[in-house]
Amino acid sequence: MPGIRSTRARAALLTVPLLVGALGAAAPAGAAPAAATATPLSCRGQGTDPDAQVRYATETLIHAPLGTVWKLQTDVERWPAWQRAVETAARLGHGPLREGSAFRWTSPAPATPSTPATTLTITSTVRQLHRGFCLRWTGPAVGDGLRIDGVHVWTFTQTEGGVLVRTEETHTGKQVEANVPLATEILAAGLTTWLAELKATAETGA
């Protein structure tokens, strides 16, 4: 792959909110790699995109009540308070998060040799939700010269030690599909960071 395309893909993807977090950080203790969730995740029988080339799954055990973890994850408008990559987040409706709920969130993307600095806008729609058990949403991330279509599944299992949170996400789009190993690596780092921030916030009661 030509150097410019690789540089552009890496720089643009580094701040995609679908990935979320300070990418490149080492996996925190308690996080597990994709192999730990070999069985595809689903919510009410629906999973990620089976045809996507870019996918990653991971999990972590959070030592906090299920209600705390669930509220943090579904109180979308408060994401910027504990997720460093999320600049803004707004519900496009009222009431508790439910099937059909939509929300819009943003994150900056830096300038590259071939693209200006931009703000990525993600519009996510909840497709399946089983309160306290699972959540699945879909939606595009769009910025200047970049579009990624994502499907994201979360499951929450109460255990003796807390809550086992599993997540799996797939991406499609010509920019990520131009370098699948790189896009997968960045997605993995982003999901690891998201779980780490969710775990830290829930366990400290913030």
Q: Give me the pLDDT at residue 93, please.
A: 94
Coil, strand or helix at 75: coil
Helical residues (DSSP H) of the chain, grouped into ranges: 3-13, 66-74, 79-82, 174-177, 180-204
Coil, strand or helix at 103: strand
| pLDDT tens by residue, the chain, 206 residues | 444 344 444 444 444 444 433 333 334 444 444 444 468 999 999 999 999 999 999 999 999 999 999 999 999 999 999 998 899 999 999 999 999 999 999 977 654 344 456 788 999 999 999 999 999 999 999 988 889 899 999 999 999 989 999 999 999 998 888 888 888 887 898 899 999 999 999 999 85
pTM: 0.82
| Nearest C-alpha neighbor of 67 from the set 136, 15, 2, 133 | 133
Cα-based distances in Å from 110 to 13, 64, 144: 10, 35, 11
Q: Give me the pLDDT at residue 206, please.
A: 56
Q: Give me the pLDDT at residue 38, please.
A: 64
Question: DSSP code of 114?
Answer: S
Cα 149 from Cα 173, distance rounded (Å): 6
